[in-house]
Structure 1
Amino acid sequence: MKAFFDDRQWKHDPKNFMAAGVKRACPEQPERIARLHAGAEAAGCVFEAPQDAGIGPIAAVHSSQYLTFLQTIHARWSAIEGAAPEVIPNVHPRRRDDSYPSSPVGQAGYHQGDTACPIAAHTWEAAYWSAQSAIAGADHLAQSGTPAYVLSRPPGHHAYGDMAAGFCFLNNSAIAAQRLLAQGARPAVLDIDVHHGNGTQDIFYARADVLTLSIHADPTGFYPFFFGHAHEHGAGAGIGANLNLPLPQGQGDAEFLAALEVALDRIESFGCDALVVATGLDAHEGDPFRALRVTTQGFARIGAAIAARGLRTLYVQEGGYLSEDLGPNLTSFLSGVQG
């Protein structure tokens, strides 16, 4: 299977994030690249670097105001006397239509939804090439019809059109789906990460041209908390074009696969002809977040079930955090995909 990755994605190296009021080491570490890259190669993937398609395909999903912020905020933040080396917000607006501040502190609060998306000197560069990898994967799928894997790191599915969140800055899966739509496809985004793909849902929520689906741990007591509930099924023109399948914490292979069949049936009903799978591996029983109990062999069954529907499919990496199982989980999933 063809795979895409750019070495500049190594440059994002976040140090801190806040969880339950405690400053902790960020789990979205560059080491994830080494383990995922090895796991993909073990499944027979052959990597190549993406070409630069420019900012246009990214701006088709993200606002120009937000993209300007990502490109400039670290330098402006660093000019503040005594500022920390990473941009982390400490104030947020009441609503998205409140005033837009000129201060970098205020803009950080506007464009960063939580404290789990610190911005350092090379964050924009890494996120940009992570998105370019997804664009290259979408172009490969559109031109060849054959599947591809994208090692997108930093990940993307928590990023909104104008806001970073949850380790994510540019929404790689949404960018890939929009790219496929522009090339005449009827795309769906299926998110199998343990966390709900809230950014992806929001980007397409009022639209009927892209179907969004997410299988994840019940957000009643799990990040992102406010989004991902079963009653969220779209708005306006997008009513019926979003499906959330939250699972109680602790459920494993059987329950996940049952939800997956529901999602795949809905994808067929939509008339999808190009599928983007937001490929999180953090539903694994050994992942540091430990919300669901999918096994390594379970990922092979998940991959096989998706591939069995015969759709042109692009697999874009989302979560899955540092453990001895991370690489083997990807190997298992992609081996299942390839039969």
Structure 2
Amino acid sequence: MITVISRQHSIHNPKFEFYRGEKVPCFESPQRLEYVIQALHDRGHDVREAEQLSDRVLPTVHSQRYLQFLASAWDQWTALAADNIDKQPFPSVWPVRSLRSDIEPKNFIARLGLYSMDNGTPMAAGTWVAAKAGADAAVSAVALLNAGHTSAFCATRPPGHHAGPDFMGGYCFLNNAAIAAQSLRDSGCQRVAIIDVDYHHGNGTQTIFYDRPDVLFVSLHGDPRTEYPFYLGHADETGRGAGQGYNLNLPMTAGTDTATWFAALDTACRQIIRFQADALVISLGLDTFAEDPISRFTLQSDDFFHIGTRLATLRLPTVFIMEGGYATTALGHNTVNVLEGFDNAY
């Protein structure tokens, strides 16, 4: 399996975030991906730079207003004050419920709140360039499938599955899984399935495709009553309008054992088979690992190999998209275990 990367990921390097109300070093760091890339090289994988651009696909996944804000946000921030170049901006107000979101405020922090679902998604000088490069890599991975490869891995950061049509959140700015799925549709696939195995529900991906019957979204994740993103990911969310029946959430309680998790994976795979997808996108979060510092499932390193094996039985052209996973030193090993389990079984 070929891996597509972007070296530009490292210029998105904020120094701190707010986690449960405390200022802490960022869990989502450049070191995460460096461990993955090193493991890929150590185990003999073909690693390439992205060659395609996502410019045509981006406006079909995200709103133009949101894209314009993201592309210019750091320049807007630093134009406010000379010393802002050494500071990270965070939102402090959000347009919830009865408040209006159709008018973009002139105040920068208010604009940031308009396009944010939390204050745990720190920006830095290179955020837009890194996020855009990740989207380019997702499209490049799809191009490999179009060229006849059975699978490809998009190994980039920041992750994407919490980013919605017009908002960022959960470390995510552009939704690479949704971009890959839309690119597959644009390439001629009639039905695309997305399975999200990250510990946290892919609320952004669900929102993007919730009204559509051509993209099935299935997610295995921590129960949103106790786990981020809290406000989406319940089992009764099954789609809307034409998309009714094309969204499947499989929430599980914190501490869920491995056997229960794999039973949920089997349920997800059966749903994908019934959907008769032409291609598969996997939001590959590795924060289901027992030693992850911000998640609470119990999978071990060998279990990730079996995840790849099970997904390979679907026999679909497959794009893996890197999402979460914050046990940094183990992340490379666990990631490559999934890919090799898939390759060995396909």
State the TM-score bracket (shorter-chain normalisation): over 0.9
Q: 1:134 is aligned with what amino acid?
A: A
Corresponding residue number in structure 1 for 2:332: 327
Corresponding residue number in structure 2 for 1:135: 139
Distance verdict in 2 for CA 1:54–1:204, change over 3 Å: closer
Higher mean Cα deviation, 164-173 or 68-77? 68-77
Deviation, 1:143, is 2.4
Deviation, 1:79, is 2.2
Corresponding residue number in structure 2 for 1:8: 8
Q: 2:11 is aligned with what amino acid?
A: K
Corresponding residue number in structure 2 for 1:64: 64
Deviation, 1:270, is 0.8
Q: Which runs of 5+ in 1 are unaligned?
A: none
CA contact (8 A) 2:4 2:154 kept: yes
Q: Secondary structure at the match of 1:188?
A: strand
What per-residue deviation string (whole Å, max 9, x for no partner) do you get for residues 229-248 of structure 1? 11111111111010000111
Corresponding residue number in structure 1 for 2:113: 109
Corresponding residue number in structure 2 for 1:169: 173
What per-residue deviation string (whole Å, max 9, x for no partner) do you get for residues 202-241 of structure 1? 0001111100010011111010011111111111111101
> Matches of 1:212 and 1:200 in 2, distance apart?
8
The 5-angstrom pairing of residues 10-29 of structure 1 reads 10-29=10-29
Q: Secondary structure at the match of 2:265?
A: helix
> Matches of 1:54 and 1:239 in 2, distance apart?
29
Number of aligned residue pairs: 339
Higher mean Cα deviation, 173-182 or 55-64? 55-64
> Matches of 1:121 and 1:51 in 2, distance apart?
23
> Matches of 1:43 and 1:219 in 2, distance apart?
36
The 5-angstrom pairing of residues 269-284 of structure 1 reads 269-284=274-289
Q: Secondary structure at the match of 1:170?
A: coil
The 5-angstrom pairing of residues 184-195 of structure 1 reads 184-185=188-189, 186-195=191-200
Are 2:37 and 1:32 aligned? no
> Matches of 2:215 and 2:147 in 1, distance apart?
20
Q: Secondary structure at the match of 1:332?
A: helix
> Matches of 2:54 and 2:320 in 1, distance apart?
21
Q: Secondary structure at the match of 1:324?
A: helix
> Matches of 2:52 and 2:148 in 1, distance apart?
19
Corresponding residue number in structure 1 for 2:46: 46
Are 2:244 and 1:239 aligned? yes
Q: 1:159 is aligned with what amino acid?
A: A
> Matches of 2:213 and 2:224 in 1, distance apart?
24
Are 2:341 and 1:336 aligned? yes
> Matches of 1:39 and 1:277 in 2, distance apart?
20
Q: Secondary structure at the match of 1:221?
A: coil
> Matches of 2:296 and 2:327 in 1, distance apart?
15
Q: 1:72 is aligned with what amino acid?
A: S
> Matches of 1:43 and 1:63 in 2, distance apart?
40
CA contact (8 A) 1:39 1:329 kept: no
Deviation, 1:80, is 2.2
User: Aligned-pair RMSD on alpha carbons?
Assistant: 1.4
> Matches of 1:225 and 1:279 in 2, distance apart?
20
* Identity percentage of aligned residues: 39
Q: 1:251 is aligned with what amino acid?
A: T
Deviation, 1:40, is 2.7
> Matches of 1:133 and 1:303 in 2, distance apart?
21
> Matches of 1:277 and 1:269 in 2, distance apart?
17
Distance verdict in 2 for CA 1:191–1:76, change over 3 Å: same
Corresponding residue number in structure 2 for 1:216: 221
Deviation, 1:324, is 2.9
What per-residue deviation string (whole Å, max 9, x for no partner) do you get for residues 43-73 of structure 1? 4421111124251111220111011101111
Q: Which runs of 5+ in 2 are unaligned?
A: none
What per-residue deviation string (whole Å, max 9, x for no partner) do you get for residues 104-127 of structure 1? 121100011111111111100000
